[in-house]
Amino acid sequence: MIKTDITVVHNFNSGPSVLPKEVFEQASNAIIDFNNSGLSILEIGHRTSLFQEVLDEAIASAKELMRLDDEHEVLFLHGGASTQFFQVPMNLLNENETAAYLDCGTWGTKAIKEAKIFGNVDVIASSKDKNYTYIPKNYTIPSTAKYFHYTTNNTIEGTQMHAIPETNVPLVADMSSDILSTTIDFNKFSLIYAGAQKNIGAAGVNLVIIKKDILGKVTRKLPSMMDYRIHIENGSMLNTPPVFAVYVCMLTLRWLKQRGGISAIEKINDVKANLLYNTLDSLPVFRPKVAKEDRSKMNVVFVIDSEVLEKEFLAECKANGMVGIKGHRTVGGFRASLYNALPLESVQSLTDLMKDFASRKG
C-alpha cells in the first residue's frame, strides 16, 4: 500500500539521512519502470547502455560539481567508507613507510587502527584529551610522511575542519559527512572518499576520487577488488556495481546541479547552521558541546544539563515530527544533522520548538 497521507517529518538523521523529495519520487518510479524501458532499475543488466548512462552521468556530475581536473579519477566502489579505512593504506603505504594521521574523532580513530595493519602510523595530533570537542591546530605534518589523512567533518562529535592544511605531503580525506556541502579546492587532495549515505545518495556505495600519480607505488600484491588501478581501468565496473545506489547518487547529483551546485547549497547550509547555532547560543537551557571555531555545519551537537529536561525535549521533538535528533550513543545529548537535502523549514521548526521549550522550562 502506498501511503498518500504522509505527514511532514523533519529528518535530522545522521546517515542514512534525508534526500531530496524529487529523488525519492524519481527513484520510486524507476523501480516500477526505468526510463520507459518496461524494466525496473532493479532488473536491468549493469553492462547495458541503460546503466552505463547512469554511471557516466554520475561520474560527470561529480567531476563538474567538484571542478575536478583531469588528473583526478572518480570511482563508485562498494563497502562503505569503512572499507576505505583499509583500502587506502593497502594501496598507498608500504610496510616500512609512515603515514601521518590526525585523530579528531571516532571515524578517524577507526581509520588509524586499520592503517596500522599495513604500515607505520604517526598520529601527529589528537583531540582525544577533550573527548574530541575541538580540532587540533598546532601540528606539523612531517615532510617524509607518505600521505596525511584526516576527517573533514566529525559526524559523531560535531566538529569540522574549516581549512585545508598547508603541506606538500599528499592529502587524503574522509569527507563522508560534508562532501558537496561547502566550496573547497578538491584538486588539492590526492585521495578523497565518502560513503554516499550522507550527502550523495543511498547507502551501499562510496564516492572515491583519486589523483592517479599516487598509485602504483606499493610493493605488496593487491586483490583485484582492492586495487584502485584495476577499478579505474574497469570504470567502476570490475564486478556488479550497486546499481540502484549509484542511480540514487546520480539523481541526487543532478538535483544539486539544478539547484546551482555547491556554492548555492553552501549559502543555504550557512543559513541553516547559523540559525541553529544562534538559537542555541541565545537559549541558556541548551549547551553546544564543541569549540566555537570548530563547529560543524553538518552535525550540530548539543546537550541540556538535566536528564529530565533532555527526555522532555526529545519527547517534544518526536511529537512535532522531528526524527533523528538523539545524539550518538557514545556522546549523548542531541545531534541535528543538517545535510544538503534538509530543508531550511525543518531547521526553522526545530528552532521554534527550542524557543518555545526554553520559554516554558528555561
Ligand X SMILES: *Cc1c(COP(=O)(O)O)cnc(C)c1O
CB of 78 to ligand X, least distance (A): 10
Among residues 14 and 279, whose Cβ is nearest to ligand X? 14
CB of 312 to ligand X, least distance (A): 29
Distance (Å, rounded) from C-alpha 110 to C-alpha 208? 18
CB of 112 to ligand X, least distance (A): 12
| 196 in Cβ contact with 253 (< 8 Å) | no
Among residues 82 and 349, whose Cβ is nearest to ligand X? 82
Which residues bind to ligand X, rule: CB under 6 A? 15, 80-82, 107, 151, 155, 174, 176-177, 195
Among residues 32 and 117, whose Cβ is nearest to ligand X? 117
- CA angle, residues 212, 216, 221, in degrees to nearest 5: 140
Which residues fall within 8 angstroms of residue 196, CB to CB, at 6 or more apart? 202, 203, 204, 205, 206, 207, 245, 248, 249
Distance (Å, rounded) from C-alpha 15 to C-alpha 274? 22
Q: How many CB atoms lie within 10 A of CB 82?
A: 16
* Residues marked as catalytic: 107, 174, 198
Among residues 205 and 353, whose Cβ is nearest to ligand X? 205
**Minimal CB distance to ligand X: which residue?**
80
Q: How many CB atoms lie within 10 A of CB 16?
A: 16
137: β partners = none
CB of 341 to ligand X, least distance (A): 16
Which residues fall within 8 angstroms of residue 272, CB to CB, at 6 or more apart? 297, 338, 342, 344, 347
Among residues 87 and 176, whose Cβ is nearest to ligand X? 176
Q: Counting beta carbons within 10 angstroms of the beta carbon of residue 232, is it exposed (0 to 12), middle (13 to 18) or buried (19 or more)?
A: middle
Distance (Å, rounded) from C-alpha 85 to C-alpha 149? 10
Among residues 30 and 245, whose Cβ is nearest to ligand X? 245
CB of 157 to ligand X, least distance (A): 10
CB of 358 to ligand X, least distance (A): 30
Which residues fall within 8 angstroms of residue 162, CB to CB, at 6 or more apart? 293, 294
Q: Counting beta carbons within 10 angstroms of the beta carbon of residue 43, is it exposed (0 to 12), middle (13 to 18) or buried (19 or more)?
A: exposed
